[in-house]
Amino acid sequence: MNINSIFVNLPIKDLDKSRDFWTKLGFTFNEQFSNDKALCLVLNEGLIYSMLISYEMFSTFTNRPIADGTTTQVLTAIQVDS
């Protein structure tokens, strides 16, 4: 089975500040998958991305509480052919 891409999904409080931070470090975003609720941070073009997701949108992926900054939370998605 081939892995097409990996997405590390993180809840983010402020998308604008996150975009600014990562841009200043020299990273880019895939605008096709970025909007006012999420940013697609390119870590390794074509393979590894981080979805920086607003708390509001992130909560639609889980019925559990979102980490409040005192704990660690991440959702990892691995894209495969089937």
pTM of full prediction above 0.85: no
Class of the CATH-defined domain 3-80: alpha beta
pLDDT at 73 over 90: no
* H-helix or E-strand spanning residue 8: strand 3-12
Compute and round to an integer the Cα radius of gyration of the chain. Answer: 13
Any idea which residue has 């697609």 for tokens? 40
**Per-residue pLDDT tens digits for 10-42:** 999 999 999 999 999 999 999 999 999 999 999
Q: What does the domain layout of the chain look like in residue ranges?
A: 3-80
Please list, residue by residue across 13-51, b when 16 or more beta carbons sit within 10 angstroms of its beta carbon and e when fewer do: eebeebbeebeeeeeebeeeebeeebbbbbeeeeeebbb
Chain centre to alpha carbon of residue 1 = 24
